[in-house]
Amino acid sequence: MELWIPITLAAAFLQNLRSAMQKHLKGVMGTTGATFVRFGFGVPFALFFVLGLNRFAGYEFPAVNATFLAWAAVGGLGQIAATFLLVHLFSFRNFAVGTAYSRTEPAQAALFGLMFLGERVTAGVLAAIAVSVFGVMLISVAHTRLTWRALFASLVSRNALIGLASGTLFGISAVAYRAASLSLGGPNFMMQAAVTLVFVIVFQTVLMGGWMLWRDRAEIVRIRKAWKLSLLVGVAGACASFGWFMAMTLEHAAVVKALAQVEMIFTFASSVFFFRERITPLEVAGCAMIVGGILLLLLIG
């Protein structure tokens, strides 16, 4: 088994854990605060990863260059914008369509990887991505009365366009993070990923912290009161991001993001086994397609 596979699976699990904790934070703070804690409280752990690799593993710090800074900034900004668009969808009554289209991130990452980095994926990999993406879309609309004809006919609706824009920005940020990490040129994938993570997470923390100081200082007070849970979100988020960056340094972003769709299985399992929620036929079909797409991806790879 290639190393990027278990790293991606671990990152997906940690991201699911982080998302679950962030949902609890929404009860005590706003969307901006719940988004900020994944960055701000993750900074100390990201720094620990870099220093640990340098002090204990003996890896040298890579030389940061202009290409790295540019790609890292693009990825950081794209991720923030994509997250806000996704959260914005929840303000609409019928946000399922938009959410479904936002899950096209792996397919869009394949396109941007080709456009920006000249990376090609095989027809088999594209088929695996398509199967898993379609499965995620099935789960996203499982609790709506929409037909598939209506879903695809709604491609030009406001919700769908916002969802597609979110998926586009997530896809761009994934490719940008891979480009940033690869531009460092060494000493190895772990240190490259850790340095990329430190720059990105500090950059995002400064941007969002500055925004709250300017527009919503009360949110900072709410974050301070919930610092214990925020710290757990920070460590889970930093570990997940470190995993994503390592995996995307080793493998194409589109392929990593396709395997990362397993996060939906983790989320689905949590809903069923811990919250005792009902299972719909579409959800079962969606899970089966995600698993099928992932298995196809692994068999091809």
Q: Which residue has the higher pLDDT, 9 or 1?
A: 9
Summary mean pLDDT of the chain:
85
35-56: per-residue pLDDT in tens?
888 889 999 999 999 999 999 9
Contact 223, 36 (CB under 8 A): yes
Please say if the pLDDT value at position 69 is more than 80.
yes
Helical (H) or strand (E) element with 287: helix 281-300
Q: Which residues contact 210 (CB under 8 A, 6 or more apart)?
A: none
pLDDT over 70 for what percent of the chain? 86
Report residue 163's pLDDT band, with 50, 70 and 90 as the boundaries: confident
Mean pLDDT of 199-218: 94
277-292: per-residue pLDDT in tens?
677 787 788 888 888 8
Please say if the pLDDT value at position 95 is more than 60.
no
Q: Which residue has the higher pLDDT, 22 or 3?
A: 3
Mean pLDDT of 93-115: 75
**Long-range contacts formed by 15-19: CB under 8 A, 24+ apart:** 15/236, 15/237, 15/240, 15/244, 15/260, 15/263, 16/263, 16/266, 16/267, 16/270, 17/236, 18/233, 18/236, 18/237, 18/240, 19/267
122-150: per-residue pLDDT in tens?
888 888 888 888 887 777 666 666 666 66
Give the pTM.
0.87
Please say if the pLDDT value at position 222 is more than 70.
yes
pLDDT over 90 for what percent of the chain? 42
What was the pLDDT predicted at 287?
80
Worst-scoring range by mean pLDDT, 69-78, 160-169, 215-224?
160-169
What was the pLDDT predicted at 164?
83
Please say if the pLDDT value at position 231 is more than 80.
yes
Mean pLDDT of 104-133: 86
AA letter at 139: I
